[in-house]
Amino acid sequence: MQAIHNVRLATMQGDGYGLIEQGLIVFNASGIQYAGEHLSHAEGGPDLSQVELLDGGGGLVTPGLIDCHTHLVWAGSRANEFAQRLHGASYADIAAQGGGIAATVAATRAASLEQIIALSQPRLEALMREGVTTIEIKSGYGLSYEHERKQLLAARALADSNPVSVVTTLLAAHALPPEYQQQPDAYIDLIVEQILPQIAAEGLADAVDAFCEKVGFTTVQTERVFAAAKALNLPVKLHAEQLSNQAGSQLAARYQALSCDHLEYLDEAGVAAMAASNTVAVLLPGAYYFLREQQLPPLALLREYQVPIALATDANPGTSPIFSLLLMLQMGATLFRLTPEECLRGVTVAAAQALGLHDRGQLKAGMRADLCWWDCADPATLSYQFGLQQLRGCWHQGQRR
């Protein structure tokens, strides 16, 4: 049994940080045993006689951070494309030359499973260095059974070889593969008849996602994917209203989606639908920043309807080549005007909900001992300053890493 004392606890219970000033947290590999005020045993606090006690030095303990939306496993680089764009090439020019998502699909298909794992390992390590203890990883750069499976196997392999929990998502409906260029419906047939059932049978996907957009799939096509996922008892989520409003969020809400993600063009009807289905709004400020978007997600409406708000990196080679969840806190505050409380909730309690996980994201007896111990006492510091190594310790399932 281990314990940390002389710390503030941001339990994330209630509406804000759920702060406890003179905090004590007691835990082991099976979970948090106590998280609360540091009372002596005589006053009714836990018995610390058999416990390895760590002095938290007046710092802060939060739940381990959760990055609930990433595309972490791919091969190839799009740095050349980024440079071309800065020299004036348009996204359409680049796509016409085989660039964009198609370039990443070609490189990912050409790479072996081992190569994808090796390329993804440092990306994962960068996130873990900042306190990420759970990460979602999507496929979506394979676009065939063989190569979507390879991406998901890479995600599972990363989970096996790192002290971190990985949740996988099948995103076969991300883009049209080259062999289906003029036949989107035939590709949807392939997804619902082959890719999804086989991946589900192998237990490789924890959820199913799609890209519902003018440059992606229509709501009719998306609904076919959702219906197939539902028949296999897999929860759904959606890349929705990123570049335009397609009412994808309303469709997703009808399928009790765990989350709708991006949401810059979300309208009130979509917000209301998400509120009614308890769907989390996952905001991705890194993609907003990297694409130099102007349209802000509807924060006032999300707050009014009390839709939980999560924040994630969207780590991907095209629109968010960013491997820092703490940077998303600062961007959430600066670009989206989220409060520091909302930012921290967005990578803890709300992110857990976005992944359908009820055993983490808060400091509470019975939850997993996924913990971050920070140098700062004020949790707003985590959104305020960026680039200082403030993480003094991190535990995944009670093991210090």
**Site residues (vs ligand DI6, CB under 6 A):** 100-101, 104, 174, 211, 239, 242, 287, 316-319
CB of 321 to ligand DI6, least distance (A): 9
Query: Given the complex with ligand DI6, which of 316 and 353 has the nearer CB atom?
Result: 316
71 is in an annotated binding site: yes
Judge residue 179's burial from the number of C-beta atoms within 10 Å of its C-beta, 0-12 exposed, 13-18 middle, 19 or more buried. exposed
d(CA 128, CA 324): 9
CB closer to Fe ion, 293 vs 314: 314
Q: How far apart are CA 312 and CA 300, in angstroms?
A: 19
Which of 314, 341, 342, 370 is in the footprint of Fe ion by CB under 5 A?
314
* CA angle, residues 247, 252, 257, in degrees to nearest 5: 150
CB of 266 to ligand DI6, least distance (A): 15
| Residue 33 vs 319, nearer CB to ligand DI6 | 319
Its sign, for the CA torsion 212, 213, 214, 215, is negative
Nearer of residues 173 and 199 to ligand DI6, judged by Cβ:
173
Question: Measured between alpha carbons, how far is 322 from 123 in angstroms, rounded to an integer?
Answer: 9
The least CB distance from residue 284 to Fe ion, in Å, is 7
- Closest CB to Fe ion among 213 and 314? 314
- Within a 10 A sphere around the Cβ of 48, how many other Cβ atoms? 17
104 binds, among ligand DI6, Fe ion, none (CB under 5 to 8 A by kind): ligand DI6
Quick one: what does residue 147 bind among ligand DI6, Fe ion, none, with the CB cut-off 5 to 8 Å set by partner type?
none
| Shortest Å, Cβ 315 to Fe ion | 9
CB of 157: closest distance to Fe ion in angstroms?
21
Tell me the two tokens of residue 233.
């008892």
d(CA 203, CA 164) in angstroms, rounded, equals 19
x/- letters, 269..308, toward Fe ion (CB under 5 A): ----------------------------------------
* Cα 108 from Cα 189, distance rounded (Å): 22
Instruction: Provide the minimum distance between the beta carbon of 319 and ligand DI6 in the complex, in angstroms, as a whole number.
Output: 4
Of 123 and 368, CB closest to Fe ion? 123
On whether 242 is known to bind a ligand per the annotation, the reply is: yes
Residue 81 as a binder of Fe ion (CB under 5 A): the answer is no
Q: At what angle do helices 145-161 and 113-129 cross, to 10 degrees?
A: 50
- In angstroms, the Cα distances linking 284 to 128, 320, 330 are 19, 9, 12
| Cβ atoms of residues 353 and 361 within 8 Å | yes
- Which segments are annotated as binding site for Zn(2+)? 69, 71, 239, 314
- Which segments are annotated as binding site for 4-imidazolone-5-propanoate? 78, 141, 174, 242, 319
